[in-house]
A and B are shown apart, each in its own frame.
Chain A
């Protein structure tokens, strides 16, 4: 049975006119921690029913600063500090497996999925956008995998999904430099399908979703399954590599520096 409407603390959704709109609204920039994960799991559970009534999913953010700044590093650091090392490692693996289940579910959804992004779309936020079939960005959107700055790699499926969509040279550039790039560049490399004026991403996504609704759903589902494989083995391997790296002292030092920074520039490399 689908849940057509939900209002949570970190996110909400509504099904109207065959389109599911999933709004992210956790201050300050939709950082993905335990609360967001729980509510994303609620959404993933509701998808079975929602999919019978909808043809498209639009994911967007109501936060001014951007789509999603990534994992909740503050929560990650504080929780890992409060535990024995082995418990922290187990906790991280559990979190990753749970978020992968959610993102894999959205990735494989028979709906056509659209991420309408603006501002900061970093780390886990970038990974959330990458599970979608299309990314529509306003011209102030900025994309980044900053994980290397913390001694980590993306852990929410970013590497296998980026490899699925882009050439290896671009993937290496993003991962190894940790630099951010804007929507124009994202479109040039084939990541973003449309770049629109500031504040217009959701409107453009709705128009695109309405267009998609004109086509036969079974055909669209079949086409999507054919052209969008889920890189299962690589996704599992990414979790293993992330967990191996997380145990290193350099990571704790990097997290501590980020969380305790009074620097004006913690989001800059």
Chain B
């Protein structure tokens, strides 16, 4: 079973790789739209990547108001 911290770290690594942003530039509590320079269409790409990686299904309405990686990780963790 993934721990919350490990889930968070995997999300940061996946986001950095997918959007070609250095991993060290991402921090758990910052706004990922700004940090990654993405819009909502690209956020859906990130969601798909995360669902495929963690083998979960996360309804996108659960992302309402979610703007930081730590909260996103908690949402994923709740589905593991």
Contact = CB atoms under 8 A, between A and B. Distances in A.
Nearest to A69: B41
A105 interface: no
Interface string B46-67: 0111011000010111011001
Contacts of A69: 41
Interface residues of B, number: 20
A181 B57 contact: yes
A140 B47 CA distance: 9
Contact of A29 (B38, B41, B52, B67): B41
Contacts, number: 64
Contacts of B61: 177-179, 268-269
B19 to A, nearest CB: 13
Contacts of A263: 40
B73 to A, nearest CB: 18
Contact of B43 (A140, A184, A185, A265): A265
A183 B52 CA distance: 9
B57 A265 contact: no
A267 B57 contact: no
A185 B59 contact: no
B24 interface: no
A265 B44 contact: no
Interface residues of A, number: 27
A175 to B, nearest CB: 14
A139 B52 CA distance: 8
* Among B33, B41, B47, B52: residue with most chain A CB under 10 A: B41
29 contacts: A29-B41, A69-B41, A120-B41, A120-B44, A140-B45, A140-B49, A141-B48, A142-B48, A144-B60, A177-B61, A178-B61, A181-B57, A182-B48, A182-B52, A182-B57, A183-B48, A185-B57, A263-B40, A264-B33, A264-B67, A265-B43, A265-B64, A266-B40, A267-B39, A267-B40, A268-B43, A268-B44, A269-B60, A269-B64
Interface of A: 29, 65-66, 69, 119-120, 139-142, 144, 177-185, 263-269
Interface of B: 33, 38-41, 43-45, 47-49, 51-52, 57, 59-61, 63-64, 67
